[in-house]
Structure 1
Amino acid sequence: MKDNEKKFVLASFDEIFSTQESRDDAKREKVMEIPLSDLHTFKGHPFKVLDDEKMAETVESVKQYGVLVPAIARPDPEGGYEIVSGHRRHRASQLAGMETLPVIVRDLDDDEATIIMVDSNLQRETLLPSERAFAYKMKLEAVKHQGQRTDLTSRRVVGKLEMADVVGEQAGDSGRQVQRYIRLTELIPQLLDMVDEKKIAFNPAYELSFLKTEEQEQLLDAMTSEQATPSLSQAQRLKKFSQDGRCTPEVMCAILSEEKKSDMEKVTLGADTLRKYFPKNYTPARIEATIISLLEQWQRKQRDKQQRDQGR
């Protein structure tokens, strides 16, 4: 063949006899109705799917309107499909008695699937600290892995903090805050549950995450013994004792037994407690005024009693 002869490739049968519209349609993602039994949970899924009040509302919606937004799944080499986005819709469909779920199937590698799975859940209003912590950890690992692959990114991600910034960008968290959340995954499950239940605040929990596993277990016993949870300053001191190798059960009990300044300055009476002593038609302002009046009377009686005792 001469150099100046033009080279050409024969078109395939499908290309010759198909229209541009049909070729474009073949490239579009299609929604498939997949049996619920063929769909299973994403490996390491960090978000809790609870049969709570919100789930009950979702179930009623599915019964009435069906699933309006398709889930996203990827083929599982071992059979069936792995749900990437749509775990709550899958559970609601089960509870609603449905047999299938509308799903968009995509061929995704582990990193791509992880990022979609995390991002599709991070915008939820009621996200537990443990859910956010493990989600950030999974996404950071995926982003770090992608940053090492020049075929997936036009610019390699440089520096741990920059990667963390990428992870937290969609949820509005800084890279520093992402790293602080990820530290919570170092807590033993019992302590992390207490963070979710708001028994331990986020900042003290971050400091406690630096304690060794054995020390965290001992801290649980100390908290039970003293009927107290660490404040931020107490958690910081426990961390320092741990770094110095002196965080013993005795030290923990001594620190937790200290009366917290906030406890000394604040007394809280719940509405249920107060309502037992007032008519139902009393407004909060009237209840407060009555309490103040009664306290003033009590104070006068105490003062008069003290004066009488001194005059004897």
Structure 2
Amino acid sequence: MNKNRSVVPQMRGVSAFLSAPVEAAASINTVSISKIRLPSHQPRRYFDPEKLQQLTDSIKQHGVLEPLLVRPLQQGEYELVAGERRYRAAKAGGLETVPITVRELSDQEAVQLALVENLQREDLNPIEETEGVLELLTLTVGCSREEISEALTQMATAQKKGIDPSGNVSRQVEAIANILESTINLTPESFRTSRLPLLNLPSEILDSIRQGKLEYTKARAISRVKDEHQRQHLLQTAIEQSLSLTQIKQQIKELTVVSKPELPTMSDRLVLISRQLKGLTDPKKQKRLEKLLQDLESLVET
């Protein structure tokens, strides 16, 4: 899918760095890879082993062509801000030194820049992408994840009822919309209905999406299977056999039919009632039953 990611969110400090001309950027140095530390917060959690190996092979042959972006720490060490794939591939390839670009960044600017850099990657999976956007929103809009979700829900409810949301909600959603448009090209409502629910999926399904084994549209369909054993079996089958979304839905339909208890037929019910009537002695009930039988006979004859 071709996503429009050419524009980044306008964030103080970060946007200035991203738009800076090459000649204004910090000089490129080469340092020992042992002096680079990974930050405690990383937007990206899964790296495809095959793609990482391809990058490692390329780096062994050509070196690290694009410098890692870092910020200085104490005692001549650096914290990685952007370029973790290159960092991991360089370590795996046995490189002792790597090129770096050093920038003075605050904690918030470093996190924002790392998030933007990752969100502009085409191979970021939907879970990492959604979590990254939420983290970016909490920093730029100044709201918690819960407040962001609540603002989107309030906006959707207001639009459905044809009323104006509160001024605070409108401002929050406008800021959210700007970030979403400039990162993953989604509207606030699309993000609310198609992305936020992903984070509530069962853990085994979340892991499959993170590892690139399953598209999130298929994952959402499989998550609707309530029985845990059936859901895990369908998940494994969908991955191993590369089932299409249509095939997955068909299997879910078959599971629903099998698990649905068979209801007794009308004839079975009448036979059961006739057996129970043998012990009926109450005159009032017998009179009422006679009237019901007359109605039933009339209905059948008609």
Q: TM-score, normalised by structure 1?
A: 0.51
Q: CA contact under 8 A between 2:52 and 2:89: conserved in structure 1?
A: yes
CA positional deviation for 1:130: 1.5
Tell me the equivalent position of 1:144: 141
For residues 186 and 219 of structure 1, the distance between their equivalents in structure 2, rounded to whole angstroms, comes to 16
* Residues 188 and 83 (structure 1), Cα distance of their counterparts in 2 relative to 1, 3 Å cut: farther
Aligned match for 1:159, one of 129, 151, 171: 171
Tell me the equivalent position of 1:171: 184
Q: CA contact under 8 A between 2:69 and 2:103: conserved in structure 1?
A: yes
Kindly provide the amino acid, as one letter, of the partner of residue 198 in structure 1.
L
For residues 186 and 132 of structure 1, the distance between their equivalents in structure 2, rounded to whole angstroms, comes to 15
For residues 46 and 124 of structure 2, the distance between their equivalents in structure 1, rounded to whole angstroms, comes to 11
**Would you say how many aligned residue pairs link Structure 1 and Structure 2?**
195
Q: CA contact under 8 A between 2:201 and 2:223: conserved in structure 1?
A: no
Stretches of structure 2 lacking an aligned partner (at least 5 in a row) = 1-22, 144-167, 236-244, 246-251, 259-302
For residues 43 and 254 of structure 2, the distance between their equivalents in structure 1, rounded to whole angstroms, comes to 32
Tell me the equivalent position of 1:271: none
Stretches of structure 1 lacking an aligned partner (at least 5 in a row) = 1-25, 147-155, 209-215, 233-253, 261-312
| CA offsets 1:278-310 (integer angstroms, 9 cap, x no match) | xxxxxxxxxxxxxxxxxxxxxxxxxxxxxxxxx
CA positional deviation for 1:85: 0.5
Between 1 and 2, higher relative CO (CA 8 Å, sep ≥ 6) is seen in 2
SS at match of 2:231: helix
Aligned match for 1:223, one of 227, 231, 250: 231
Kindly, what percent of the aligned residue pairs are identical? 26
SS at match of 2:118: coil
1:204 aligns with 2:220: yes
For residues 58 and 200 of structure 1, the distance between their equivalents in structure 2, rounded to whole angstroms, comes to 26
Tell me the equivalent position of 1:258: 256
For residues 78 and 57 of structure 2, the distance between their equivalents in structure 1, rounded to whole angstroms, comes to 25
* Residues 206 and 256 (structure 1), Cα distance of their counterparts in 2 relative to 1, 3 Å cut: closer
Tell me the equivalent position of 2:205: 191
SS at match of 2:100: strand
Q: How does 1:1-12 map to 2 (within 5 A)?
A: none
SS at match of 2:80: strand
Q: CA contact under 8 A between 1:194 and 1:200: conserved in structure 2?
A: no
1:124 aligns with 2:136: no
CA positional deviation for 1:86: 0.5
Kindly provide the amino acid, as one letter, of the partner of residue 58 in structure 1.
L
Tell me the equivalent position of 2:274: none
* Residues 49 and 63 (structure 1), Cα distance of their counterparts in 2 relative to 1, 3 Å cut: farther
Kindly provide the amino acid, as one letter, of the partner of residue 191 in structure 1.
I
CA positional deviation for 1:163: 2.6
CA positional deviation for 1:206: 11
Q: CA contact under 8 A between 1:36 and 1:94: conserved in structure 2?
A: yes
CA positional deviation for 1:88: 0.5
Tell me the equivalent position of 1:282: none
For residues 227 and 42 of structure 2, the distance between their equivalents in structure 1, rounded to whole angstroms, comes to 29
* Residues 93 and 84 (structure 1), Cα distance of their counterparts in 2 relative to 1, 3 Å cut: same
For residues 77 and 178 of structure 1, the distance between their equivalents in structure 2, rounded to whole angstroms, comes to 40
Q: CA contact under 8 A between 1:136 and 1:181: conserved in structure 2?
A: no
Kindly provide the amino acid, as one letter, of the partner of residue 61 in structure 2.
Q
For residues 165 and 128 of structure 1, the distance between their equivalents in structure 2, rounded to whole angstroms, comes to 21
CA RMSD of aligned residues (A): 3.9
Q: How does 1:66-85 map to 2 (within 5 A)?
A: 66-76=63-73, 80-85=77-82
Q: TM-score, normalised by structure 2?
A: 0.53
SS at match of 2:104: coil
| CA offsets 1:74-120 (integer angstroms, 9 cap, x no match) | 23469832211110110111112111221112121232222211221
Q: How does 1:25-104 map to 2 (within 5 A)?
A: 28-50=25-47, 52-76=49-73, 80-104=77-101
For residues 51 and 89 of structure 2, the distance between their equivalents in structure 1, rounded to whole angstroms, comes to 10
CA positional deviation for 1:42: 2.7
SS at match of 1:72: strand
| CA offsets 1:134-162 (integer angstroms, 9 cap, x no match) | 1111111111239xxxxxxxxx9963322
Structure with the larger helix share? 2
Tell me the equivalent position of 2:155: none
Kindly provide the amino acid, as one letter, of the partner of residue 181 in structure 1.
R
CA positional deviation for 1:72: 0.8
